[in-house]
Structure 1
């Protein structure tokens, strides 16, 4: 059967080509007389290996041979040829169906493969992101742990330092107050000018100690004590009085009181360094007040001149 089918697929027969039709007809007739019937499996295997154009040629030729058998009144051969035509058509349909299913399955498999690759790619990306996140968390954890240890150690150190400074402030303030208390308890024995001079020196010393201790605390806690508003690490062009007005005002006040005490002490002297003008002022009852006022004016002028000079130099 395979040889006969090969002959039928070589070229398409024409209606007028009776010799070609007759040749193929007798070949089929001899085959069916010898074998009785064709094998469906053999026909299907042959059709599955043919192309679409060869199948079209085979179908045309089989139909022409069936008509030729009808002309020859070969009903038995015609019946076998019709069955062969049905088998070839069925095999062709089966092949088409199988090819379509294979194509569908291939598309499905490609889609599944692509989806699998996408899922794999996303899984790899997520895995990489998780690894990076884990590394970042570990790094942040180690950094935070290290910072906490540093801050804890720094807090302990600052606490002890601040405690010591406040202890020193307490001793300094209460020590100064005790000295002033002792002076005030003996005020009957000490004259006022000496009391002013000594008290101003003690107050100035206490203010200086407090200022130094507050500066030390500022360095520890990293906070500014400037009154000008500048940050601690930024350059500042303000004058010392603008930076620390309270301290300088207190020191100017103690200096003024000290000078008043000096003048008052000189007022009680009969001859103040032998200067006649000052002696005559001292003899006047209101001379001490005049000198105190003039001294205040002089100190303010000197302070303003120094402050303006420092502003212009900066």
Structure 2
């Protein structure tokens, strides 16, 4: 029975054997480079490379890399010293003397130059493989050292941020407690004399107190936000007006100021004894005065509210 794949099998086996032989020769070349420097013969090594490259045409870098990766620092130092000496030998006077006859032949000279380039490639790959080994090969101690250094830096940064935040929180609650309890104490003093103060005047004083306390709280929170690098604004637009940035505070101030104006007007009328005359006038025209007064107050409040809303919106 004929074997149709016989030729292919022989060719595959032949290729495999050829690559294996190249690998064995590369291992021998690497072992030559690992010889002690005082016994290392640069010319002998160059002849070996020349013989190899003429026969096999190229280097097998995988074998070089695998060989470099298993060397200790001391063994690699010997290998690097030896290959450096080969490179120096190739471009020295001794090389020209040893190969003077071959250099006279054009073909031989070209073959030697090719060997020189091969040695340079091997020198470059040896250093590259060692560099890769140093960069990517870390022991557990190396990783522990790296992690410890990173954690120390991160821990210092976190500790600093926590200290800043802790100081900010303590400052906020301390100042807030003084402000709130001081405000409550002052309000208590206001209401303590409520029996001797007319209700309208009490409303006026209370409005002033509310306006001051509310704005003091806002200013306090504003500066605390600056220290803590927080944003109290309702918009990110730096060119926006105060009404648009802090609408809640503006509306609260609007309400308190409105109460203050109305109560102050009522106190003025009462103090000028206009209330008696006004009372007689109102008594005679109760319905009309009520409608007109209510309408006027609503118009003023709505107009002011619309102005604030339009400013915030636009």
Q: TM-score normalized by structure 1?
A: 0.50
Task: Provide Cα deviations, 1:82-127, integer angstroms capped at 9, x if missing partner.
Answer: xxxxxxxxxxxxxxxxxxxxx9995562264556413035563232
Report the Cα offset of residue 262 of structure 1: 0.3
Please, which of 202, 205, 208 is the counterpart of residue 198 of structure 1?
A: 205
Do 1:215 and 1:225's aligned partners in 2 also have CA atoms closer than 8 Å?
Answer: yes
Moved over 6 A (4+): 133-140, 285-290
In 2, are the aligned partners of 1:193 and 1:264 still within 8 Å (CA)?
Answer: yes
Q: Which residue of 2 aligns with 1:170?
A: 177
**Offset, 1:151:** 3.7
Report the equivalent of 2:65: 118
Deviations 1:256-291 (A, max 9, x none): 11112101102313456xxx9x96478536769965
Q: Give the C-alpha shift of residue 152 in structure 1.
A: 1.9
Give the CA deviation at 1:165. 2.5
CA distance in 1, matches of 2:167, 2:238: 30
CA distance 1:260–1:104, shift in 2 (3 Å): closer
Q: Deviations over 1:126-170 (max 9, x none)?
A: 322237x99998777656534532442343233223312221211
CA contact (8 A) 2:26 2:64 kept: no
1:253 corresponds, among 244, 252, 255, to: 255
Radius of gyration: which is bigger?
Answer: 1
5 Å-filtered alignment, 1:135-284, equals: 142=149, 145-226=152-233, 228=234, 230=235, 234-236=236-238, 239-270=241-272, 280=278, 284=282
1:194, CA displacement in angstroms?
1.1
Number of residue pairs matched by the alignment = 201
Task: Give 1:109's match in structure 2, choosing from 13, 19, 24.
Answer: 24
Q: Give 1:42's aligned residue.
A: none
Gaps of 5+ in 1: 1-102
- Take 1:238 and 1:128, find their aligned partners in 2: how far apart are those partners? 54
In 2: Cα distance, 1:177 partner to 1:293 partner: 36
Q: What secondary structure is seen at the aligned counterpart in 1 of 2:250?
A: helix
Change (3 A) 1:292 1:224: farther
Q: Distance in 1 between matches of 2:227 and 2:273?
A: 54
Contact 2:243 2:311 in 1 (8 A): no
Q: Residue 127 of structure 1 aligns with which residue?
A: 134
Structural RMSD (CA) = 4.2
**Secondary structure, aligned partner of 1:284:** helix
1:255 Cα deviation (Å)?
Answer: 0.6
Distance across 1 between alignment mates of 2:282 and 2:250: 33
Instruction: Provide closer, same or farther for how the CA distance between residues 289 and 251 of structure 1 changes in structure 2, counting only shifts above 3 A.
Output: farther
Distance 1:144 1:208, change over 3 A: farther
TM superposition shift of 1:244: 2.4
Q: Is the 8 A contact 1:203 1:254 kept in 2?
A: yes
Q: What is the rounded CA distance, in whole Å, between the counterparts of 1:259 and 1:136 in structure 2?
A: 72
